[in-house]
């Protein structure tokens, strides 16, 4: 399988093109799509050769194993509805159904005067599946959503395992690392949790031991917020992998011809490419893009020649990135749910316990080998600062903005534990901490397996949902007890009638917004 980088760019760009054609006036959408396609064609035609090296054969055992492992991971996440779905899927199923049922953009009410209610959310990830669903129905849409998610996760682990041509097990190692990587929630439960969660039975949601604060494991992200997690992971991997490649060429070991070219300065990771990728991350997961932004800024500062800063920039790519960012911003800003901003005060003991157990101890240990690495510094700063930032009425910001620093922490950890020349003591210590952390994703997976098994072996009739339109949905407490006698979290048939606090994250009055007044198709 060649051209991993090109395939990943296409995977990320296709939903935005669909968004433009469905959410913008044709007079706006057509020129924007032309600009984007031209920049994309130039980008794919002139892609950096280091990002298009020969990967292991698609039918090699390594690739087949990674496909099977990632496929099982996505299957038990509940995406597509083939296994138990956690509480958040009530909302995600409703978004997909409304994208299939309603015309685009999704407008629930449009009176002559008064509020115009529109779906304003991070809908990009669902658009390929919703487009299929409009033609072939709900089941086909869910099947494509499962395949789309599986393919996205597979692309992520391939990027993490780059170099697998010379180390065939590297991709498999990183596949297990992303599945099992987490903060040490199990210790937080033992030391600080009061009533829920507990370590027995092993199906509970350990992430909530610290109340509103949470740095979600990657398994938790996939099982609860796959629409933000998967594209964010791919964007982060594409941006951060260039740092790894650039560092490798400086090592005194024998270099390949491609690496020698880069070391000589003839080819370097492109800043305009990274800006383009960041804009796509903003389109799919704006909160995750906030956590990714400091890494991007560090790269721009390090790699920019300030004597001639625009010499190697491609302005068609920068134009495309600007368009993606501005259109996404105008659309998202139509929803005022995230306007609440402020400082979240925390007791020192609560903050220290959260910081140390949710990644701080790992970060401190990595200082032995990474203290000069700007990525290590940025990661620690973000993990330290994020708990104090309040954006919106809930705790989504700390959970989603932490995706990038946690992903970077995972990458740096993998670079140490999978490197035979690393200190044995350091590697052993990191493995012990990862073992404690692995309980969090294992509990998430075990809950899905347990509830799926119960459903398949139960004699009870499937739960029947109410035919009355739902206006409020009670917040879930214990995920293992959610929607008994049913795999699918699907109580919200449409968001059109929802009128509770959480629904404001999805539905907005857009009458006075710049997006609706000037660029929306309606």
pLDDT at 470: 85
Burial grade of 143 (CB within 10 A; 0-12, 13-18, 19 or more):
middle
pTM for the whole thing? 0.92
pLDDT at 498: 92
Residue ranges of the chain whose pLDDT lies below 50: 1, 49-54, 164-166, 244-268
Q: How many CB atoms within 10 Å of residue 165?
A: 16
Is residue 262 within 8 Å of residue 50, measured between CB atoms?
Answer: yes
Domain boundaries, the chain: 4-458+479-486+499-519
117 forms bridges with which residues in the sheet? Answer: 109, 509
d(CA 473, CA 500) in angstroms, rounded, equals 7
pLDDT at 59: 65
* DSSP per residue, 120-186: -S--GGGHHHHHHHHHH-HHHHHHHHHHHHHHHHHHHHHHHTTTTTT-TTHHHHHHHHHHH----HH
d(CA 271, CA 91) in angstroms, rounded, equals 36
Backbone φ and ψ for 361, nearest 5 degrees, come out as: -65, -45
Pairing of strands 117-119, 507-509: antiparallel
pLDDT at 229: 98
pLDDT at 2: 55
Pairing of strands 117-119, 107-109: antiparallel
d(CA 454, CA 449) in angstroms, rounded, equals 9
pLDDT at 4: 86
Rounded (10°) CA dihedral 371, 373, 358, 184: -70
Q: Which of 395, 422, 413, 356 is nearest to 505 (CA)?
A: 395
Q: Which of 381, 334, 365, 391 is nearest to 509 (CA)?
A: 334
pLDDT in tens, 43-60: 887 755 444 444 555 667
pLDDT in tens, 477-506: 799 999 998 999 999 999 999 988 889 999
């Amino acid at each position: 399988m060649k051209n991993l980088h090109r395939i990943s760019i296409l995977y990320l760009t296709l939903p935005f093109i669909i968004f433009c054609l469905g959410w913008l006036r044709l007079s706006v959408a057509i020129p924007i799509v032309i600009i984007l396609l031209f920049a994309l064609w130039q980008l794919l035609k002139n892609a950096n050769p280091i990002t298009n090296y020969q990967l292991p054969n698609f039918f090699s055992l390594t690739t087949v194993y990674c496909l099977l492992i990632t496929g099982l991971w996505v299957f038990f996440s509940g995406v597509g509805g083939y296994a138990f779905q956690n509480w958040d899927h009530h909302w995600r199923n409703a978004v997909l159904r409304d994208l299939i049922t309603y015309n685009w953009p999704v407008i629930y009410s449009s009176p002559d005067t008064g509020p115009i209610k529109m779906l304003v959310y991070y809908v990009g990830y669902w658009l390929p599946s919703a487009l299929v669903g409009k033609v072939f129905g709900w089941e086909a849409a869910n099947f494509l959503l499962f395949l789309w998610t599986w393919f996205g996760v597979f692309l992520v682990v391939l990027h993490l395992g780059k170099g697998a041509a010379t180390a065939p097990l590297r991709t498999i190692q990183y596949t297990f690392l992303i599945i099992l990587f987490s903060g040490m929630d199990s210790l937080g439960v033992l030391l600080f949790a009061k009533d829920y969660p507990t370590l027995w039975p092993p199906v509970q949601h350990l992430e909530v031991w610290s109340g509103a604060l949470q740095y979600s494991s990657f398994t938790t992200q996939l099982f609860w917020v796959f629409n933000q997690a998967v594209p964010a992971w791919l964007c982060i991997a594409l941006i951060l992998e260039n740092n790894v490649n650039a560092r490798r060429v400086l090592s005194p070991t024998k270099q390949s011809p491609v690496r020698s070219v880069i070391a000589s300065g003839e080819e370097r990771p492109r800043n305009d490419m990274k800006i383009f990728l960041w804009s796509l991350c903003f389109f799919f997961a704006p909160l995750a893009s906030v956590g990714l932004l400091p890494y991007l800024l560090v790269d721009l500062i390090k790699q920019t020649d300030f004597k001639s800063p625009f010499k190697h920039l491609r302005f068609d790519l920068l134009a495309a990135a600007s368009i993606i960012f501005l259109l996404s911003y105008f659309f998202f800003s139509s929803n005022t749910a995230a306007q609440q901003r402020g400082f979240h005060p925390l007791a020192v003991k609560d903050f220290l316990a959260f910081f140390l157990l949710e990644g701080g101890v790992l970060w401190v240990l990595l200082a032995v080998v990474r203290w000069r690495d700007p990525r290590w510094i940025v990661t620690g700063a973000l993990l330290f600062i994020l708990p104090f930032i309040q954006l919106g009425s809930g705790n989504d910001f700390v959970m989603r903005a932490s995706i990038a620093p946690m992903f970077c922490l995972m990458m740096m950890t993998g670079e140490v534990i999978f490197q035979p020349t690393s200190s044995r003591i350091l590697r052993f210590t990191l493995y012990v901490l990862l073992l404690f952390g692995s309980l969090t994703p294992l509990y998430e997976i075990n809950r899905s397996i347990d509830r799926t098994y119960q459903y398949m072996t139960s004699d009870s009739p499937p739960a029947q949902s109410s035919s009355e339109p739902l206006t409020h949905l009670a917040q879930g407490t214990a995920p293992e007890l959610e929607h008994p006698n049913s795999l699918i979290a699907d109580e919200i048939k449409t968001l059109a009638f929802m009128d509770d606090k959480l629904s404001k994250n999805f539905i907005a009055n857009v009458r006075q917004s710049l997006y609706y007044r000037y660029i929306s198709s309606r």
